[in-house]
Structure 1
Amino acid sequence: MAARISELVLSCRDPEVLARFWCEVLDFVVLDREADGSLEIGPRQGAGGPQPTIILSREDEPANAKSRLHIDINATDRDQEAELERLLKLGARPADVGQTGEEPWHVLADPEGNEFCLLKARLNPL
């Protein structure tokens, strides 16, 4: 038997801001709010499905090192360039991690600077 990822936890200064951003990017909704300000976002059908939920955990301390994990996303209903335009309008910004410009993906950062990649292939929605 194997395991699967059920939740991703992202420490951040402002869970509400990141929840709005990532809910728009992934078509997620807020599933739970904790007293400490942390939020869980996920697919509209809730937790436990094929996609992991994301817990946005409030952390007031600044990040002291580059994250060793990032999220890769793929568009489901448009091509990569149209999705890039949509993400930039939502508040993503280009990020430079040393790429050459020849890569078939775009490196971006969310409103708090967390890097993620927009891959070229279009995936079928779940």
Structure 2
Amino acid sequence: MTVSLHHIVIDAHDLPAQARFWTQVLNWTILSERDREIVIGVDENAPVGICFMPGSAARKTTKNRLHLDLTPGPDGRDAEVDRIVALGARRVDIGQTGTESWTVLADPEGNEFCILRPKTTLIA
């Protein structure tokens, strides 16, 4: 028997604000909202969702050890970057050279994520 990925859990200081930001980025919905947990996803039967839970009192100060890579829609990477920045993300420098095929952004609480070049498979 194997396990399967259920949630990606993100520690947050402002759970509702983080959930709203990510539902707009991903065009997902809030599936469950409790005092100490908000779950978002495509729908309640989706194979994977994102769960926001209270984090430590300390603010984030270092690069994430884990981050999300997002594939842009039909308008392409630059349009998606502009759209997501308008939602509250910001561009961040984590040592890129400028020749990468991705753009690094951070959500409103500083968690890095990447917008990739358009891809159709996990490896291409």
TM-score by length of 1: 0.85
Partner Cα separation in structure 1 for residue 75 and residue 8 of structure 2: 25
Partner Cα separation in structure 2 for residue 16 and residue 35 of structure 1: 10
Cross-structure match for 2:93:
96
2:68 to 54, 68, 71: 71
**More moved, 54-63 vs 115-124:** 115-124
Whether the 8 Å contact between 2:63 and 2:112 is mirrored in structure 1 is: no
Residue 83 in structure 1 maps to residue 73 in structure 2? no
The one-letter code sitting in structure 1 at the alignment partner of 2:44 is G
**Tell me, which stretches of 5 or more residues in structure 1 are unaligned?**
none
The one-letter code sitting in structure 2 at the alignment partner of 1:22 is W
Q: CA deviation at 1:76?
A: 2.4
Spell out the pairing of 1:11-90 with structure 2 (5 A cutoff): 11-36=11-36, 38-43=37-42, 45-47=43-45, 49-50=46-47, 52-62=48-58, 63=60, 65-90=62-87
SS of equivalent residue, structure 2 residue 94: coil
Change (3 A) 1:76 1:122: farther
4+ residue runs of structure 1 moved beyond 4 angstroms?
none
**Aligned Cα RMSD in Å?**
1.9
Spell out the pairing of 1:101-112 with structure 2 (5 A cutoff): 101-112=98-109
Identity of aligned residues (%): 38
Whether the 8 Å contact between 1:79 and 1:122 is mirrored in structure 2 is: no
Partner Cα separation in structure 2 for residue 5 and residue 22 of structure 1: 19
SS of equivalent residue, structure 2 residue 69: strand
